[in-house]
Amino acid sequence: MKVRRSVLIPLLSLALALLVAAPLWVLPALGAIFPQNSHENDFTAAIVDKYDRLNQTTGKKIVFVGGSSLPFGLKCGLIESELPGYTAVDFGLYAALGTVVMMDLSLSGISEGDIVILAPETDPQLYSDFFTPRLFRTSIGDRTDLLSSLSSGRRKEAANAYYPVLYDRLRQRNDPTVPETELYARSSFDEYGDIAFVRTRNRMSEGFDSSKTVSLSGLLDGGFVDEVNAYAKKVREKGATLLFWFSPINQAAVRFSDKEANRFMTRLAAELDCEILGDVRDTVYDLGYFYDTNYHLNDDGAILHTANAVKKIKEFLGEEPTVSFAVPEAPVYVDPGEQKSDGVFIYEGPTWGTYAIVDVTDESRNSFTAVTVPESFDGYPVTDLRSGCFSGCSKMTSLTIPRTVETIGSDVFRGCGNLTEVYIYAENASMLTVPEKGLFDGAAPSLSVFVPRDALNAYTSSYSWMSYQSLLSPFDPE
C-alpha cells in the first residue's frame, strides 16, 4: 500500500525532529537504563559541582575563572579569612575544556557586586577560543541544563558531539570509574573547588617539564582578546567587575625575557577591556613550589599564590596589601647525589631517599632488547627515569616500568625506533608524573603502552596522560 505524500512528509518531519531533539532526552533515558557512568568521577566531571556551587552561592563573591592552575594554586578558605564579606569560588578546571567554556558557564552565577578574576594558564591553548565539545559533553553527563549557558556557537558544537558521546557511554558502561584515590578525579576537589589532594614536593624530573616551557609570543593572536572583551561586557552588565590575572609559572620553564614581558603587558593593557592585576612576572615562582606541571603548585606553592592573590585584590579595593597568614619558604630542591652503576644502569642519588636512572652503560645501550627497570638499587627504591636515560637504545623492543617509578623525564625514548611495547605497573596514574607532550617520541610508530586494566580510565583522564590516550591499552598485572 502506498503512503500518501501528504502523510509521508509530516511523518518524515516528525522523525527528523525527534532525531534532532534526541540529545535532550536520550542521555537521561540512557542513564536510567545504564546507571553506571564510567566517567562520573573523571577530573572534568567536577564541572557540574563547580557550576552548582557558583550558582547556589549568595552574597558578594570573588570568582576565579580559568584552568587547572586555579584549583592547584588557591586556598579559598584563606582568601575568605582575609577578605570578609566575600565568598571565594574556585571556577577553574581543565585546560582541555577551554578557557572560553569556563567563561560561558560562569556567567550564569555572577551577580551584582562580584569580583571576577580571569586567570588562564599562560599557554597558547588557554589564550585562545579553543573548545573540546566531546570532552565537555562527556564531563557534564546527564546535566543537559549546563548547555544553556554556552554561547550559541559552542552550544551547536556540543550538539554535534552528542551521538559520539552516546556511543562512548554504551561502549564504556562496564569500565571502572576513576578511583577516589586519584589526584585527577572529581573526588579530589574540596567544597571550595580547590584540590584537596596532599602535594608535598616537586615531582618533576629535574624540577620542571622541558616539553612545556613558557613563552609569551603569539598568546594574544587569534580571537582570545575578543572573547575576553565580550565576557567583560557581560560581567559589567551583571553589575560585577572583571579583573585579568596570571597563572603560576615555574621559573625553570620561563623562556621569555624582560623585554618580551614588557611588550606583552603593554599589549594586554592596550587591548583588554578590563583592569589587569599586576604583571606576568609576579606569578613566576621558584621550582620548589611546583608539583607535577609547570603550572601546578604543591601545597606550599598554593599558600604563596593565595597570598599573592589576596594582596592584589586588596590593592584593587584600596586596602593595605598584606596577609595575616605565614607564607612558607620554597621547599629545597635537593642536589642530586653521586652517580653509581650496577653494570647495566647508571644511577644518581640517593635524593629524597630514592635513586634515579640517568643513563645506561655503553654495553647495555648496544645490546638491550627486552628491558625491566629494577625496583631498587643499593637498598633504595628507584623512582625516577631521568630525561634521555634510554636514548640510543636502538635494539630495545620492550620496556617494563615497575610500580616504584614516580617520574619519567623527556626524550627518554629518543633513538629507540624498535621499541613497540611499554608495560607500566603503576596503578595510581596520579603518582606517575610525565611530560605533557612528546614522552614517547623516538619509539616505533606501532608503539603500544600497557597500563593496569583497572587504572585505564584514570590514565586517560589524567592531566598529563590524556595526550597519550591513543597509545594506551589495558593489561592484567601479575
Element spanning 75, H or E: none
Res 172: pLDDT? 85
DSSP symbols for 431-446: GSB--SS-TTTTS-TT
Q: How many C-beta atoms lie closer than 10 Å to residue 473's C-beta? A: 11
Distances (CA, A) of 6 to 1, 9, 14, 20, 279: 15, 6, 13, 22, 68
Q: Which set of grid coordinates corresponds to residue 334?
A: 635537593
Q: Please report, as a single letter, which amino acid is at residue 355.
A: Y
Looking at the domain assignment, is residue 127 inside a domain? yes
Name which of 478, 476, 461 is nearest 40 in CA terms: 461
For residue 37, being part of any structural domain is answered with no
Residues 149 and 296 in one domain: yes
The backbone region for 141, taken as left when phi is positive above 0, alpha when psi lies in -120 to 50, beta otherwise, is left
The answer for residues whose C-beta is within 8 angstroms of residue 94's C-beta and 6 or more apart is: 43, 44, 67, 68, 463
Is residue 32 situated within a structural domain? Answer: no
Q: 383 is in which domain, residue-wise?
A: 339-475
Q: Are residues 272 and 387 in the same domain?
A: no
Q: Angle formed by the axes of helices 152-160 and 133-140, to 10°?
A: 80
Q: How many residues does the chain have?
A: 478
Nearest residue to 60 via CA among 93, 29, 85, 32: 85
Distance of alpha carbon 144 from alpha carbon 99, whole angstroms: 20
Cα 444 to chain centroid, rounded: 27
Q: Is residue 418 part of a domain?
A: yes
Supply the CATH number for residue 194's domain. Answer: 3.40.50
303 & 434 share domain: no
Q: What is the pLDDT of residue 1?
A: 47
Are 205 and 408 contacting, i.e. CB atoms less than 8 angstroms apart?
A: yes
Q: Percentage helix, strand, coil, to 5, in the chain? A: 40, 15, 45
- 263 and 352 part of one domain: no
Residue 81 lies in a domain: yes
For residues 413 and 459, state if they share a domain.
Answer: yes
> Do 199 and 261 fall into the same domain?
yes
Question: Is the sign of the CA dihedral 162, 165, 167, 170 positive or negative?
Answer: negative
For residues 246 and 364, state if they share a domain.
Answer: no
Report whether 383 contacts 405 (CB < 8 A): yes
Query: Does 312 lie in the same domain as 458?
Result: no
Residues 142 and 252 in one domain: yes
Mark whether 308 and 441 lie in a shared domain. Answer: no
Specify if 10 maps to a domain: no
The reported pLDDT for the residue numbered 171 is 85
> Are 90 and 188 spatial neighbours (Cβ–Cβ below 8 Å)?
no
For residues 247 and 121, is the Cβ–Cβ distance under 8 A? yes
Task: Report the b/e string of 360-373 with b at 16+ CB within 10 A.
Answer: beeebbeebeebeb
Residue 407 belongs to domain with CATH number: 3.80.10.10
Task: Answer yes or no: is 331 within a domain.
Answer: no
Q: Give 375-444 as a DSSP string.
A: SEETTEEEEEE-TTTTTT-TT--EEEE-TT--EE-TTTTTT-TT--EEEE--S-GGGSB--SS-TTTTS-
Residues 118 and 204 in one domain: yes
What amino acid is encoded at 341 in this protein? Answer: S
**Is residue 226 a part of any domain in this protein?**
yes
pLDDT attached to residue 174: 82
Tell me, yes or no, whether 224 and 148 share the same domain.
yes
pTM (predicted TM-score) = 0.90
Q: What is the mean pLDDT of each run of 10 residues along the chain (478 residues)?
A: 57 56 52 67 96 97 98 98 98 94 98 98 94 95 94 94 88 87 95 95 90 93 92 98 98 97 97 97 97 97 98 97 95 76 94 90 94 96 96 97 96 96 96 94 97 93 89 93
Q: How many domains does the chain have?
A: 2
Coil/strand/helix, residue 174: coil
